[in-house]
Amino acid sequence: MTRSSSGERTLVPPDVLDEPEVFQVLDYDGNLIASAPEIEEAKLRRMYETMLLIRLLDERMMILQRQGRIGFYGACTGQEAPPIATAAALEDRDWIFPALREGSAMLYRGFSLETYICQVFGNAGDVTKGRQMPSHQACRSVNQVSWGSCIGSQIPQAVGAAWAAKLKKDDVVTVGFMGDGATSEGDFHNALNFAGVYKTPSILICQNNHWSISIPTHGQTRARTIAEKATAYGLPYARVDGNDILASYAAIKEAADRARAGEGATFLELVTYRIGAHSSSDDPRVYRDEAEVVEWKKRDPLARFHRFMTSQGHWTEKEEVETRARLDEQILAAVKAAEAQPNPEIETLIEDVYVEIPRNLQEQFQDWK
């Protein structure tokens, strides 16, 4: 509230503040409209190739799901830029606490494509032994933590890990991803409040893809932007074009540098769009106007980055054709190898969960066998 000239108290309307601008480096045609972050050409090429890989992989895995060869899949079509920008901007020792659409960060960090696909099949080649839903990849070898489907639970985990690192005087950075719907959860409040109070070395990233499954953003929050929610917790924030991989990289790199320098947490809203369905179990035509999808396809992050790469001489159309063919072959080979893996051993149901397996579980396991 503010005090008027007459001394009476008056409420401040929620729309008196200017809406934060969306930070961009590239326009929708891939042209530079701001200074590009300093990224060596080899890294730019790696970023682009990983974006292309996950786009082609998602297309293939959705086909497998429709054929009944896998049970579930969550594609990230249209949202490739944020996780890959994150992996590129961080150091390999930093930790990522993902939501549903950040698995590609593992591939950027060098995780095996075959093992990545094995997780979708839930077979013996899966490092998590088939215990997780498909598209919930994780592995300690690339510092990516397992994600649960309970919305928002990974946010306080990311902040807690950052707090532990700070106590140990380890300058590692943690990243906690979330969707726009997660910002209406209690875990979001708990995490940002703790991060603000204790200045944890964390980056909290909301991929605002405009839909919490079938609920549009305006249907689950009255805040004008997701970004400004950070104000209540005393955190610096930015609203970034999440379909612009260079803008995303710049914002995440700045936040990582702040965290590593002991300046605390940052909250980023990366504005993007879920081109496809929420998952293979969803039909967005029931709740979403297709005209909206058509408009967002014009901002396709892969096409946009491709135009930048070619215009700057970092990529050629010949390389595009050859790389697509090579990646398609790699994907097909990885799928074939993954699909040939046997089911996990029965013992994996109860091993390495307890130091000593409880007697009742041992008995149940023996009866079941």
pLDDT at 4 over 70: no
Q: If you average pLDDT over residues 335-356, what whole number do you get? A: 90
Task: Indicate the pLDDT class of residue 13, thresholds 50, 70 and 90.
Answer: low
Percent of the chain's residues with pLDDT above 90: 86
**Nearest in space to 83 (alpha carbons), one of 120, 53, 63:** 53
Based on DSSP, count helices (H) and strands (E) in the chain, helices before strands: 11, 9
Which residue's structure tokens are 């970092």?
Answer: 314
- DSSP string across 65-114: HHTTSSS-----TT--HHHHHHHHHS-TTSEEE--TT-THHHHHTT--HH
pLDDT digits (tens, 9 = 90+) for 348-367: 888 888 888 899 988 888 88
**Nearest in space to 136 (alpha carbons), one of 214, 72, 68, 210:** 72
Q: If you average pLDDT over residues 265-287, what whole number do you get? A: 95
Long-range contacts from 108-111, C-beta under 8 angstroms, 24+ separation = 108/46, 108/47, 108/50, 108/83, 108/84, 109/142, 109/143, 109/144, 110/142, 111/137, 111/139, 111/141, 111/142, 111/144
Output DSSP code: residue 23: B
pLDDT digits (tens, 9 = 90+) for 25-69: 999 999 999 999 999 999 999 999 999 999 999 999 999 999 999
What is the rounded CA–CA span in Å between residue 310 and residue 316? Answer: 6
pLDDT digits (tens, 9 = 90+) for 132-189: 999 999 999 999 999 888 899 999 999 999 999 999 999 999 999 999 999 999 999 9
Domain-wise residue ranges, the chain: 22-364
What is the rounded CA–CA span in Å between residue 357 and residue 365? Answer: 11
pLDDT at 12 over 90: no
**What integer pLDDT is reported at residue 181 of this predicted model?**
95
Does residue 109 contact residue 92 with C-beta atoms inside 8 Å?
yes
**What integer pLDDT is reported at residue 1 of this predicted model?**
39
Judged by DSSP in three states, 144 sits in strand
What is the rounded CA–CA span in Å between residue 273 and residue 296? Answer: 7
Catalytic residues: 274, 278, 287
**What integer pLDDT is reported at residue 18 of this predicted model?**
56
Does residue 134 contact residue 57 with C-beta atoms inside 8 Å?
no
**What integer pLDDT is reported at residue 21 of this predicted model?**
85
pLDDT digits (tens, 9 = 90+) for 73-110: 999 999 999 999 999 999 999 999 999 999 999 999 99
153: CB partners within 8 A, 6+ apart: 187
**What integer pLDDT is reported at residue 53 of this predicted model?**
98
What is the rounded CA–CA span in Å between residue 53 and residue 137? Answer: 16
pLDDT at 16 over 90: no
Instruction: Give the least confident one: 183-197, 207-221, 291-305, 344-358.
Output: 344-358
Which residue's structure tokens are 């601008």?
Answer: 21
> Token pair of 114, please?
């075959």
What is the rounded CA–CA span in Å between residue 323 and residue 45? Answer: 11
Among 3.40.50.300, 3.40.50.2300, 3.40.50.1820, 3.40.50.970, name the CATH number for the domain at 22-364: 3.40.50.970
Give the chain's length: 369
Which residue's structure tokens are 């050409």?
Answer: 41
0.85 surpassed by pTM = yes
Judged by DSSP in three states, 148 sits in coil
**What integer pLDDT is reported at residue 213 of this predicted model?**
92
Which residue's structure tokens are 């135009």?
Answer: 307
pLDDT digits (tens, 9 = 90+) for 257-273: 999 999 999 999 999 99
